Structure 1
Amino acid sequence: MRLPLISAFGLALFSLQQVAGITPPPGAESLTACSDVSVRKEIRSLSSDEWNTYKSAVEGAKGDRWIDWFGYLHERVSTKIHGNSEFFLYHRKFISDYEKILRGYEPNVVLPYWNNMIDYQNPAGSPILGEKYFGGNGVTDKCVSSGIANSWNFTYLGNECLQRNFGEADTIVTWYSPEFITSILQSSTTYADLRAGIENSLHGIVHLSIGGDMNTMHSPADPIFWLHHSNIDRLYAQWQAVEPDTRTYMYDGKDYAGNDVTLDDKLTYTSTPAYEVMRLGYGNMCYTYDTIQTANGDENALLSKRQRKCKPRPSKATQTIQKLPAKVLADFYPSFNKKKFSALENEMSDITPKQPMAADCSKPFTPPKPSEKMRGKMPYPGTLSKEYIKMMNLNSEEVRSAEKRAFAMIDELNAANYLSPYLFDLE
């Protein structure tokens, strides 16, 4: 089943809205608009047909050892694409290349993303890490034995199994909340700010805490990698779309060698200049995200008639945040503080979808109510280990700064007796 596409006319309008007034860098003028733009969707909002198409493509790529290849390639380039400004751009191209490989098996497949922030309280309990989707923790020898990755082995790793290694009692540490990622999106005024805020928080803790192969440089061996990085790319794309005239081609900070980056820099081990992957809907970047389309007022275009009838109710997370003390808003939510409520920089717009395989009309979805037991008790996220920081070539001061910011935000929210709509009674 083909995922929704934007028509050429719709793309033209979309492009004008997104990049009005921009002056493209040298060379970017030659990039042509895509005739069709596929829409990446949150994995839980896929229909059964869409999920089966994706699963078939992944299984085909795995059988032909493409998953092995991407794991090997990522390991070879790893020290140059983490902990510096190339992080977003290299991975954008990397997952786009993977999506193209999948289309060799299923021409209509589109890479989904996993909005793992909404699962931050109890990641191990997410259906994405369950039998229906990608399987859970490793068991014997840490091997994954459930879900799409059931009994996977990798030749280039010496025929080892796909491994995961959660914490004690099959639990995973708390991840980063929608509240924190919203704060990062609203507070980051430069590309380098956003990269540091996202890579050193959400990106790292998901890799580290799932463990096993995800906590290595050949992490693309785990099918979770692709959904996680699609989500990271989504956040970057949304940040770009907030101020497209200044952010579409904003590229600052340092490369792996400590040099100032430029738009003409070639991405590691490729002939692709940075600017070629920065504008979605142009060149080879023929995709967008459902959240960007929704923010542009085109939400219904992404939904079938059946899905529109069954659309889950949004939460009141944003309204709850608006009632926080002025100091909290000033410290962590500059856009909210200025009465700006763009969905592009608000990961708290709703907590859906939470129900596997999209909404079911026979079983209408109702978001769970947050637990009053958790009022004023937002948990701290897990922290990155020294070993992980070294492996990923990260700046330890930068990492601890991101963690400190997260702790400070949580302290202020808890002091305000805030009840997060993403915290539930797990007993």
Structure 2
Amino acid sequence: MMLSRAILFFFSLAAAAVDASVIPGSGRSSVIPGADRASVIPSAGAGGGGGSCTAPAVRKEWRELTDPEKAEYIRAAVCLRRLPKTKYAQINIVTNRLDELVYTHFTLRTSIHFVAAFLPWHRWMLKLHEDLLRSECGYAGAQPYWDWTIDADARNVAGSPIFDPVTGFGGDGKMTGSNEPGFRRCVVDGPFANTNLTLGMGWPEVNTRSDRLHCLTRAFNAGLGNDANGIPVVGDMQIGAYNSSALQPIYAFDKFTNLATVLEELPHSRVHRSISGDMAPTTAPNEPLFFLHHANVDRIWAKWQGRNNTRLNDYSGFQDTGRKIPAAITDVMVTMELLNTTITVKDYMDTQAGPMCYTYTN
């Protein structure tokens, strides 16, 4: 079934200021204030703050993993794409377990971007993904992260080990010479080469309001510009938005609203845009690097929280992009069919408590 849906290119936006008032656009709420709690059915990524955390999992930067550890994570990530779906029975273009996350992320696109819940909602989704890798694909490790500041500081993002075809996720998309829509610029090396997707359109129609079968696509630096031979120029991958210098003022913010706004609109969005292809639209969980990228965004937030104990409860802003509904830490986060239990923002404020129980190496 082909669903006509707006794929909003949120990740092409850049921050213009540091105050929460710069949040643009309009949309619906990402959370439900005062919602009744549903009956609790055990599920991966389920909430319920508090509880003990005596042996937190350690999330490592990709380069800190051994080659066998890298291979094991990639194996589990591929596995999740091969498992049949268990949710969204009426949505035919949702075909596997990963599609369930992609579809949810897309459907809630205006509810989870440029709103207060951006950071806690994606923290929950990362934990759900990690739990699914463990419970359904036998993964024993933790979710790794990609510290893109290392590659940006070296001015060599395109040459990052994350894109290695043997020990990483493969490189840039290549022009295939195909005339078939959706298969003109594909990832052709690495473990995700020749991966076909049903949600979204792929390169170059990432903004088109529809879905079609297409290959996993990347278009480094958004595929803008060609050399004298017509070959796309990669450029610097917009490193000025996510190198170490760009993060210094983000860590210096005292208010959650300023941190969240600039973190989302500059480094977060520019990494999406610099990889482009399937990483660009809000079906971005199609791209396996989505989870390592967002783990790094989560790490930055956790590191900022750790600099001041009061920040574990520092949460404010608005539930909607129209900035009409104030946000509160007790707000309920929407998860659609992914959970049969209710979760709140507060459940996901502390990475070393309750259902979370993880830390980062740096």
Match of residue 306 from structure 2: 241
From 295, 302, 315, the equivalent of 1:251 is 315
From 145, 149, 152, the equivalent of 1:113 is 145
Distance 1:265 1:62, change over 3 A: same
Unaligned 5+ segments in structure 2 are 1-36, 38-46, 84-95, 177-183, 200-210, 224-231, 337-341
- Counterpart of 1:123 in structure 2: which amino acid? V
Aligned-partner Cα distance in 1 for 2:235–2:216: 18
- The answer to whether the aligner puts 1:287 opposite 2:358 as a matched pair is yes
- SS of residue in 2 equivalent to 1:108: coil
Match of residue 122 from structure 1: 156
Q: TM-score, normalised by structure 2?
A: 0.69
Match of residue 161 from structure 1: 215
Match of residue 137 from structure 1: 172
* Cα displacement (A) at 1:122: 2.6
Match of residue 349 from structure 2: 278
Match of residue 5 from structure 2: none
Question: What whole-Å deviation, never above 9, does each CA across 1:167-223 have from its counterpart, x for those lacking one?
Answer: 33244533221122022102x101101001211110010111211111111000001
Distance 1:240 1:146, change over 3 A: same
* Cα displacement (A) at 1:30: 6.3
Distance 1:89 1:29, change over 3 A: closer
How is 1:251-400 mapped onto 2 (pairs within 5 angstroms)? 251-256=315-320, 257-258=322-323, 259-269=325-335, 271-291=342-362
- Counterpart of 1:94 in structure 2: which amino acid? M
* Cα displacement (A) at 1:147: 1.6
From 209, 230, 241, the equivalent of 2:274 is 209
Aligned-partner Cα distance in 2 for 1:127–1:50: 14
Give structure 1 regions of 4+ aligned residues with deviation exceeding 4 angstroms: 27-30
Aligned-partner Cα distance in 2 for 1:154–1:79: 22
Q: TM-score, normalised by structure 1?
A: 0.59
> Higher helix fraction: Structure 1 or Structure 2?
1
Aligned-partner Cα distance in 1 for 2:49–2:289: 35
Match of residue 103 from structure 2: 72
From 291, 295, 307, the equivalent of 1:226 is 291
Distance 1:248 1:31, change over 3 A: same
* Cα displacement (A) at 1:92: 0.2
Do the aligned partners of 2:49 and 2:353 also contact (CA within 8 Å) in 1? Answer: no
Do the aligned partners of 1:57 and 1:109 also contact (CA within 8 Å) in 2? Answer: no
Match of residue 247 from structure 2: 181
- SS of residue in 2 equivalent to 1:248: helix
Do the aligned partners of 2:106 and 2:283 also contact (CA within 8 Å) in 1? Answer: yes
Match of residue 403 from structure 1: none
Match of residue 82 from structure 2: 63
Give the aligned length: 263
RMSD of aligned Cα (Å):
1.9
Distance 1:174 1:262, change over 3 A: same
Distance 1:66 1:184, change over 3 A: same
From 64, 86, 103, the equivalent of 1:45 is 64
Do the aligned partners of 1:114 and 1:231 also contact (CA within 8 Å) in 2? Answer: yes
* Cα displacement (A) at 1:34: 2.3
- The answer to whether the aligner puts 1:190 opposite 2:255 as a matched pair is yes
* Cα displacement (A) at 1:282: 1.3
Question: What whole-Å deviation, never above 9, does each CA across 1:227-278 have from its counterpart, x for those lacking one?
Answer: 000000000000000001x100110111115211111101123621110011
* Cα displacement (A) at 1:29: 9.9
- The answer to whether the aligner puts 1:91 opposite 2:156 as a matched pair is no
Do the aligned partners of 2:49 and 2:347 also contact (CA within 8 Å) in 1? Answer: no
Distance 1:119 1:52, change over 3 A: same
Question: What whole-Å deviation, never above 9, does each CA across 1:135-154 have from its counterpart, x for those lacking one?
Answer: 11111211111122211112
Aligned-partner Cα distance in 2 for 1:285–1:123: 30
- The answer to whether the aligner puts 1:151 opposite 2:194 as a matched pair is yes
Percent identity over the alignment is 32
- SS of residue in 2 equivalent to 1:34: coil
Aligned-partner Cα distance in 1 for 2:294–2:69: 19
Unaligned 5+ segments in structure 1 are 1-26, 292-427
Question: What whole-Å deviation, never above 9, does each CA across 1:10-37 have from its counterpart, x for those lacking one?
Answer: xxxxxxxxxxxxxxxxx99961012431
Question: What whole-Å deviation, never above 9, does each CA across 1:109-138 have from its counterpart, x for those lacking one?
Answer: 211000001111231121212313011111
Distance 1:29 1:92, change over 3 A: closer
